[in-house]
Amino acid sequence: MKRIAIDMDEVIADTLATHVEWYNRDYKDELCIGELEGRSLLEARPEAQVAIESYYEREDFFRNIKVMEHSQEVLRELSEHYEIFITTAAMEVPASFHAKYEWLLEHFDFLDEMNFVFCGDKSIIRADYMVDDNIRQLRAFKGKGVLFSAPRNVYETEFVRVNNWLEAKEWFMAELEEARQ
Ligand SMILES: [Mg+2]
């Protein structure tokens, strides 16, 4: 089976939506996701840097992030045809390790936990495909990169793009078909 390396934040975990929701709730702001096209939360609210970054220190934040729509059912299905690895640049936020691990066990219990990869620079990852919202990680990857849409990357055109997990499923099933021919 071919291997897919799948990112966590903004791909199977709806981190940005949760971040904006908690930030708005705690700091009485009314920021909309729509305001974040082509830029990060921090770029949209530089004056709130301390507030925004405070969540990266909180295990309860990482533990309660919403699951990206359709990611569970699609990964379950894809795991019958592909070897699935979850590859997250967790080194960027060390306080998230334990919560991320528990989050994966809870929401993706059908995956082998030995396939959870907590890393920093993803260029070390060897797989056939990488699904990520971060263009920098895809550029460093040696296999085929698939860009998962996130507000920040809407203007990127360098990689194949999937807008959601239903599109990702179609794309990966089409790849299987192509390989059979
Ligand atoms: Mg990500």
Query: Which string of DSSP letters, residue by residue, matches 89-133?
Result: -GGG-GGGHHHHHHHHHHH-TTS-GGGEEE-S-GGG---SEEEES
Average pLDDT, the chain: 95
Handedness of CA 59, 63, 64, 66 (dihedral sign): positive
For the cut 90, the answer to whether the pLDDT of residue 16 exceeds it is: yes
For the cut 90, the answer to whether the pLDDT of residue 181 exceeds it is: no
CA–centroid distance, 65 to ligand 1, in Å, is 13
For the cut 90, the answer to whether the pLDDT of residue 180 exceeds it is: no
Closest CA to 24 of 53, 64, 56, 52: 52
The model's pLDDT over 63-83, given as tens digits with 9 standing for 90+, comes to: 999 999 999 999 999 999 999
CA–centroid distance, 49 to ligand 1, in Å, is 20
Predicted pLDDT of residue 92? 85
Predicted pLDDT of residue 103? 97
Provide the percentage of residues in the chain whose pLDDT is more than 90. 90
Residues annotated as part of the active site: 7, 9
CA–centroid distance, 24 to ligand 1, in Å, is 21
**Token duo for residue 49:** 């840097």
The model's pLDDT over 23-50, given as tens digits with 9 standing for 90+, comes to: 999 999 999 999 999 899 999 999 999 9
Provide the 8-state DSSP code for 9.
B
Gap between the Cα atoms of 61 and 64, Å rounded: 5
Closest CA to 151 of 159, 141, 163: 163
Closest CA to 33 of 51, 46, 15: 15
Predicted pLDDT of residue 176? 93
Provide the percentage of residues in the chain whose pLDDT is more than 70. 100
pTM given for the model: 0.94
Gap between the Cα atoms of 152 and 15, Å rounded: 13
Q: What is the dihedral of CA 79, 11, 3, 142, to 10 degrees?
A: 170
CA–centroid distance, 180 to ligand 1, in Å, is 31
The model's pLDDT over 102-143, given as tens digits with 9 standing for 90+, comes to: 999 999 999 999 999 999 999 999 999 999 999 999 999 999
Mean pLDDT, residues 70-99 taken together: 95
